[in-house]
Amino acid sequence: MWRSSLAALAMSLAAATVHADESTIQLAQAEGVERVQAACAICHSLDYIVMNSPFQDRAGWEKTVTKMVKVMGAPIVPEDAAVIVDYLEKHYGKAPQ
């Protein structure tokens, strides 16, 4: 019995060390950043925003947020989705061609 407890402890410690350190990722401090951090970081690292910013215009961010809600099940209400898209477009969106 103690071996199963020890194994469970070892697995939980290993899982804790795999969790990404988000402390170095600094998003633009502007209106909407709190909603972006709260909604996006529950599923993935915030560096995805920075990594995808060169490729996303407003339409791209709208599609991405819609996919996160409808396909991935992100718990984002429509009002927050609008704020998130506005923030992402303004601070991490490329200008339309």
Q: Is residue 86 part of a domain?
A: yes
Question: What CATH number should be reported for the domain holding residue 81?
Answer: 1.10.760.10
**Which residues are within 8 A (CB) of 20 and not within 5 positions of it... i.e. 6 or more apart?**
45
d(CA 11, CA 91): 39
Identify the domain containing residue 61 by its residue range: 26-92
CB atoms within 10 A of CB 65: 21
pTM: 0.73
Res 5 pLDDT > 80: no
Q: What pLDDT was estimated at residue 39?
A: 94
Quick check: is 30 in a domain? yes
- For residue 97, pLDDT beyond 80: no
Backbone torsions φ then ψ of 12, nearest 5 degrees: -70, -35
Domain count, the chain: 1
pLDDT tens, residue by residue, 10-60: 455 444 444 455 567 889 999 999 999 999 999 999 999 999 888 899 999
Residue 37 lies in a domain: yes
